[in-house]
Amino acid sequence: MGNLCGSSAKCANASSPLASKTSLPSNTTSNSTSSSKTTHKSSVSSLPSFKSEASPAVSVKSFSLIELKSATKNFGSNSYLGEGGFGCVYKGWIDENTLAPTRPGAGIVVAIKKLKRESFQGHKEWLAEVTYLGQLRHENLVKLVGYCSEADNKLLVYEYMQRGSLENHLFRRGVQPVSWAMRVNIATDVARGLSFLHRLDTQVIFRDLKSSNVLLDSDFRAKLSDFGLARNGPTGDKSHVSTRVVGTRGYAAPEYIATGHLSVKSDIYSFGVVLLELLSGRRALDEDRGSTEETLVDWAKPYLNERRKIFRIMDTRLEGQYSKREAQAIASLALQCLHSDPKNRPSMSEVLQVLEDLKQSKDTTLLPPRAHSRE
Are 296 and 251 contacting, i.e. CB atoms less than 8 angstroms apart? no
Alpha-carbon distance of 318 to 69, in angstroms, equals 43
Indicate the helix (H) or strand (E) that contains 259. Answer: helix 254-259
Among candidate residues 95, 152, 201, 208, the one labeled active-site is 208
| Beta strands in the chain, from DSSP E residues, in sequence order | 28-29, 33-34, 46-47, 61-62, 80-83, 87-94, 108-115, 144-150, 153-159, 164-165, 204-205, 214-216, 222-224, 231-232, 241-242, 261-262
Binding-site sequence positions for ATP: 114
Residue 189: name the closest of 55, 355, 52, 326 by CA: 355
> Is-contact 215 165, C-beta < 8 A?
yes
Short-list 207, 270, 273, 287, CA closest to 240: 207
CA atoms within 13 A on the CB side of 91: 17
d(CA 69, CA 51): 35
Report d(CA 220, CA 225) in Å as an integer: 14
Q: Chain centroid to CA 115: how far?
A: 18
Separation CA 108–CA 111 (nearest Å) = 10
DSSP string, 273-318: HHHHHHHH---SB-GGG-GGGSBHHHHHHHHHT-GGGGGGGS-GGG
Whether 219 sits among the annotated catalytic residues: the reply is: no
What are phi and psi for residue 60, nearest 5 degrees? -120, 150
**Distance separating alpha carbons of residues 228 and 212, to the nearest angstrom:** 14
**CB-based contacts of 76: which residues, under 8 Å, 6+ apart?**
none
Binding site, by residue number, is: 114
Query: Active-site residue numbers?
Result: 208
